[in-house]
Chain A
Amino acid sequence: MRRAYRLLACVAALLACRVAAAGTVQVQVQDGAGKSLADAVVFLESREARALAKPLQGAEMAQKAKQFDPTVLVVTAGTAVSFPNRDTVRHHVYSFSPNKTFELKLYSGVPANPVVFDKTGIAVLGCNIHDAMTAWVVVVDTPYFGRSSASGAVALTQVPPGNYRLRVWHPALPVGAPATDQALVVTAADQVVSYRLPGATGP
């Protein structure tokens, strides 16, 4: 219900931006070999954008069929993420990542307190019970972010023109590696950026 509402708000914002001459940045992510790379996290950073970023509502990292769902979750700093356990077994979710170290000891159902990711960075989540379970929470401080589809495409809409840092991250990057960083000038017109991510190969 809440989500449907937010969608409407977005549509309204889009319409408003059009007025403010905001454009859409279409990023096409490729791996080192030039193939389309899915599940890449793409976001545009700038000082103006950081000011516009607000914590997301209702972010959740569910556990289903002894897997995290989604595998990669992008949230803005300050977002409280809930960890609903939809399995019948208990999970013990932890993170030793520097931007967010936490531990949700053996639980089932939805823990009472969601985990607030207040620092940007990439937190790797694991389950102490199930070693095969891994998920990443990418914490950004910009409203312009997205995840590449199976065709490697990410569309960032309503990006006001200006100077941005185009940053791309993917789970296949070496452990602890930050998102790549590249300057990008956004104009009022829509643009398509092709981005090759070395060091990461698709599944």
Chain B
Amino acid sequence: MKFQWRPTRWGLSSRIVALSLLLLLLVQAAVFSVVRISVEQSARHQVAQELQVGERVWRRLLEQNAQQLRQGASVLAADFGFRAAVSSGDIATIASALENNGARIGATITALVDTSMALRAVGETGDANDLTPVLDELVGPLSRDAQGSQVAVVDGVPHQFVMVPMKAPVLVGYVLMGFPINQKLVDDMRAISDMHLALISDGAGAKGRIVAATLPPEALQELQQRQGDVDELPDHGDVLIARSVRLDTGAAVGGVRTLLLRSLSDVVAPFRQAQVALAWITALGVVLFGIGSVFVARRVTTPLRALVAATRRLGLGQYDVPMEHMDRQDEIGGLAKAFDQMRIDIGTQQIEIRKLAYWDRLTGLPNRARFREALQQEIDSQGAVAELGRGSLAVVMLDIDRFKHVNDVLGYSFGDLLLDAVAKRLTQQDLRTGDMVARLGGDEFAVLLTQSDAASALAVAQRIAKSFELPLAFDDQTVDLSAGIGVACWPLHADDADTLLSRAEVAMYAAKSKTTGIQLYDPALDSSSAQTLSLLTELRHAIDHDELRLFLQPKIRLVDNAVVAAEALVRWQHPVRGLVPPLEFIPFAEQTGFVRQLTLWVFDRAAALCGQLRAQGLSLRLSVNLSTRDMLDVDLPARLEQILQRHDAPAESFCLEITESAIMDEPQRALATLNTLSQRGFALSIDDFGTGYSSLAYLKRLPVDELKIDKSFVMNMQEDEDDAKIVRSTIDLAHNLGLTVVAEGVENGRILEQLRDLACDEAQGYHMAKPMAADAFAHWCQRWRETQAVAV
């Protein structure tokens, strides 16, 4: 596992800082915009309120003005001379009196209205025509409210009118007086409030005429362009909010209104200062927040980096360095503590795993891995010394004979006891320091002998073999111990540990198969040597290029010497080496598993031949050998069936020969395969009978038809009385079990006669015929029949 922590350009700490700042800025921006909006709204609201107040002030001012005018008018109306003049009934006198007395109080319009509200007279300089249009609007409200005043436009100028009753001494009429609203009044208003004013007259012909204003010139011009009809008025970057105040009675003809204008920026100015302060606070907050979040992020990321470094150490297998930051009380501390606990736990587990990985629990010995490691270390440490020609070491490998059998018969617990006993005997050998005894697996053990050459290793092997001579006794069971022992030396037989082990194993198997007990490695033993590897390639090539040949060896029925069967064998016609003997490639094929292809090849050819022979009138049973590997192949029956179908051959024409050892390696699976094959109609034969250890009880359960006595017994039965007895009893035994008996290795006529005397059923051997090419077989059969006919 590759574990690498790579800090990116945007590390955790940068992200925390960036996120914090971003959030802060977002919040501040939201606050800012809300403040801005509410300032704007509140300012406008405030301006609107101020304008309302301004309107009240303005109206009040007008009212006060009217009050003064009314007082003046009242005083005038009560003046005796004036009353006398008005009572005179002479219109000219009345007009003159009105003019004269109006002038006293600054009224530009004076008129006398009788009690029925009709205009009786106007001041001398006035024009009744100017007044008549607005008279009705004025006198109605004014007569109802003696304290009121009315505004109306006369001759284009807005006037404030008051009307006072005239008594002489009873009410004889009203004196109406009009006073122009002019710049002075507007200026007065400007002086007592912060507002600008514009007095606008909407005459019939001239809408939006500005009569008086306090506005600066530009704003005034703008207002004139818009005919006084504005809600807001721009002024040098400022905005003047306007409020229109109607002064007249709302008559159809003409109209007077005052535009009150209030600067927005005057109101906003204090808020602007607060906003600037807020901006400063925000800037300061960003700096503080940045520093704070950098600090916080460091508090988090620094220990995280330490933890990353620590986990990298754990990955490298260093479990002895405690974590940092465990003293912290926060989550980081908790994480560090958890990591530290993990470090301790993994360390402990590592030791346990190592133990499991390197030690065999049953015997307490090192296992194959540990042994291999020790061997490797020894080779490495001796490597340098070996250059000087001094270093050498040996591996003694042994495999308990018949262990599987012991397990099967006496049970696994006994098998375990046996393994334990073997381990004890091995460790009791006089071993030097650095030497090691290990259980490689199953019933395989090995001893590493450091500083040992082949001779001394063989001596140790001898000692081991000797120590096995004493039988093992458990409870009331006694078991003979024996083992195949192989020895291989470094650097003599191999350059590296693995090769050395496999060489020792090869020697061990050789020892077992030859029952020599102890075997020193020899390259000739080794099927995995370079020679055999090339052999495998060649063997494949042989099948593909039709270099294999089918050979047949006939079987003679002893009763009548008739040829009843033949064993199918394979021979290799090598293009260079010529005919390769079976022993040179069959065992090898069995080791490598290639034998399955060979078996199928043989069966295929035999099936083909079967038809040909039948065509020639020869009805023979053909035997085909099955190997151990074949027995373990669950697909075998199906494959054979396919071949039979292809050649349209009956299963009954075939006998399948299986060696005892092939059956005994995996008795259960072999039995299953045999049952299947038997059910399909194949005859089954046990090959090389007598060499194995098959129990009769087991044999009885097998669905076999034939026993084939091993040729070693047959060949020697002439000289060896024991072998003769074995052959006889085997024949009897087989017959008793209802099996036919075939003897192979019949090399002369006397043996043949002997067998016939023993009532053996069939015979096979050089005496009759060596294996021959399949195409020569028919011819041989014919000759055999001819010779037999002659003999009879």
Q: Do A and B come from one complex?
A: yes
Which residues of A line the B interface, CB within 8 A?
94, 96, 98, 124-128, 131, 133-134, 174-176
**Residue on B nearest A125 in the bound complex, by CB:** B169
- 20 additional A-B residue pairs with CB within 8 Å, beyond A94-B80, A96-B87, A124-B170: A96-B83, A96-B84, A96-B168, A96-B172, A98-B89, A124-B168, A125-B169, A126-B168, A126-B169, A126-B170, A127-B169, A128-B80, A131-B167, A131-B169, A134-B169, A134-B170, A175-B115, A175-B171, A175-B172, A176-B172
**Residue on A nearest B86 in the bound complex, by CB:** A96
In the bound assembly, the distance between CA atoms of A125 and B83 in angstroms comes to 13
**Residue on B nearest A130 in the bound complex, by CB:** B169
Q: Closest approach, in angstroms, between the C-beta of B262 and any C-beta of chain A? A: 46
Q: Counting CB contacts under 8 A, is B772 at the interface? A: no
Asked if B169 and A124 sit within 8 Å, CB to CB, the answer is: yes
Tell me the residues in window 109-125 of chain B with beta carbons closer than 8 Å to chain A beta carbons: 115
In the bound assembly, the distance between CA atoms of A126 and B167 in angstroms comes to 9
What 0/1 pattern do residues 70 to 103 of B give for CB contact below 8 A with A? 0000000010100110010100000000000000
Asked if B115 and A174 sit within 8 Å, CB to CB, the answer is: yes
Instruction: Kindly name the residue among A125, A127, A128, A174 whose own CB sees the greatest number of chain B CB atoms within 10 A.
Output: A128
- Chain B residues, Cβ within 8 Å of A127: 169
Tell me the residues in window 461-481 of chain B with beta carbons closer than 8 Å to chain A beta carbons: none
**Residue on A nearest B115 in the bound complex, by CB:** A175
Q: Closest approach, in angstroms, between the C-beta of A8 and any C-beta of chain B? A: 38
Asked if A133 and B170 sit within 8 Å, CB to CB, the answer is: no
Asked if A175 and B169 sit within 8 Å, CB to CB, the answer is: no
Asked if A175 and B80 sit within 8 Å, CB to CB, the answer is: no
In the bound assembly, the distance between CA atoms of A127 and B168 in angstroms comes to 9
Q: Closest approach, in angstroms, between the C-beta of B317 and any C-beta of chain A? A: 125
- A to B CB contacts below 8 Å, 15 in the list: A94-B80, A96-B83, A96-B87, A96-B168, A96-B172, A98-B89, A124-B168, A124-B170, A126-B169, A126-B170, A128-B80, A131-B78, A134-B169, A175-B171, A175-B172
**Residue on A nearest B116 in the bound complex, by CB:** A174
In the bound assembly, the distance between CA atoms of A102 and B90 in angstroms comes to 17
Q: Closest approach, in angstroms, between the C-beta of B451 and any C-beta of chain A? A: 156
- Chain A residues, Cβ within 8 Å of B172: 96, 175-176
Q: Closest approach, in angstroms, between the C-beta of B121 and any C-beta of chain A? A: 16
- Chain A residues, Cβ within 8 Å of B89: 98
Q: Closest approach, in angstroms, between the C-beta of B787 and any C-beta of chain A? A: 181
Q: Closest approach, in angstroms, between the C-beta of B59 and any C-beta of chain A? A: 31
What 0/1 pattern do residues 99 to 143 of B give for CB contact below 8 A with A? 000000000000000010000000000000000000000000000
In the bound assembly, the distance between CA atoms of A176 and B84 in angstroms comes to 17
What 0/1 pattern do residues 466 to 501 of B give for CB contact below 8 A with A? 000000000000000000000000000000000000
- Chain A residues, Cβ within 8 Å of B78: 131
Asked if A175 and B87 sit within 8 Å, CB to CB, the answer is: no
- Chain B residues, Cβ within 8 Å of A134: 169-170
Q: Closest approach, in angstroms, between the C-beta of B583 and any C-beta of chain A? A: 163
Q: Closest approach, in angstroms, between the C-beta of B725 and any C-beta of chain A? A: 174
**Residue on B nearest A171 in the bound complex, by CB:** B170
In the bound assembly, the distance between CA atoms of A160 and B39 in angstroms comes to 95
Q: Closest approach, in angstroms, between the C-beta of A77 and any C-beta of chain B? A: 22
In the bound assembly, the distance between CA atoms of A180 and B169 in angstroms comes to 22
- Chain B residues, Cβ within 8 Å of A96: 83-84, 87, 168, 172
**Residue on A nearest B173 in the bound complex, by CB:** A175
Tell me the residues in window 346-370 of chain B with beta carbons closer than 8 Å to chain A beta carbons: none
